[in-house]
Amino acid sequence: TQLLEQSPQFLSIQEGENLTVYCNSSSVFSSLQWYRQEPGEGPVLLVTVVTGGEVKKLKRLTFQFGDARKDSSLHITAAQPGDTGLYLCAGDPYNTDKLIFGTGTRLQVFP
Amino acid sequence: EPEVTQTPSHQVTQMGQEVILRCVPISNHLYFYWYRQILGQKVEFLVSFYNNEISEKSEIFDDQFSVERPDGSNFTLKIRSTKLEDSAMYFCASRAQMTLTYNEQFFGPGTRLTVL
């Protein structure tokens, strides 16, 4: 069974702080997506990382795919209240069409 | 920007009743999916659909579940006889033609199914 564990599970920080969310697995993935989900809504795609070691930046968000394609991280610089939400990683296993979702990290940024 | 839409946003039903959840995928997408998320739990894969047939399904997707693309735009999930444990958010997702390297799926807003 392929599992994606995210840490931390919950994170409460003040506006302006930096944070990193981790997504780890013992399985190798073809690619990995990061989504953000608001309460009562569907996951919204933020980024896809494909190549081992790849780094992608989306404004204040930096995403990295591990060299072995088993893990990923999301780093947010100078967090803002608008970053509040549930962050999900989702792995794309080889030879299958489904996404395996992580356990999620709930981020709250206080003004 | 094109998006996946789902109806209804909330469905309440009695145990044993049939429900149909509807989705309109992004228009040029070819691969369609259903996922569910029980309150407080992970998003779980149910089924994938391509070229008018199921391409993959999970253990959750038993004989009580079926999917259909009745026309060129809609994609439906039917639960024949709902159980209490079917209460969840159900998400539809779609994907464009697969690239060689990644599987980028776009999700709808979800239908909250409550079985009483």
Q: Which residue of chain A is at minimal alpha-carbon distance from B43? A: A101
- What pLDDT shows up at residue B96? 87
Q: Say if residue B99's pLDDT is above 70.
A: no
Optimal mutation site among A63, A87, A98, A100, interface B, most CBs of chain B within 10 A: A98
Mean of the per-residue pLDDT values of chain B: 93
Q: Which residue of chain B is at minimal alpha-carbon distance from A87? A: B42
Check if B58 contacts A (Cβ < 8 Å).
Answer: yes
Q: What does the alpha-carbon distance between residue A89 and residue A100 come to, in Å, rounded to a whole number? A: 8
Contact B43 A90 (CB under 8 A): yes
Judge whether B87 and B79 are in contact, CB under 8 Å. no
Long-range contacts at B41-45 (CB < 8 A, ≥ 24 apart): B42/A101, B42/A102, B42/A103, B42/A104, B43/A43, B43/A88, B43/A90, B43/A101, B43/B91, B44/A101, B45/A98, B45/A99, B45/A100
Report CA-CA distances (Å) from B52 to B9, B48, B106. 25, 10, 19
- What pLDDT shows up at residue B98? 63
- A40-54 pLDDT tens trace: 899 999 999 999 999
- A20-47 pLDDT tens trace: 999 999 999 999 999 999 988 999 999 9
Minimum-distance CB partner of A96 among B50, B56, B102: B56
Query: Chain A contacts of B108, Cβ < 8 Å?
Result: 42
- What pLDDT shows up at residue A95? 83
Contact B48 A97 (CB under 8 A): yes
Give the residues across from A37 on adjacent strands: A86
Q: How close does chain A come to B78, measured CA to CA in Å?
A: 20
Contact A98 B56 (CB under 8 A): yes
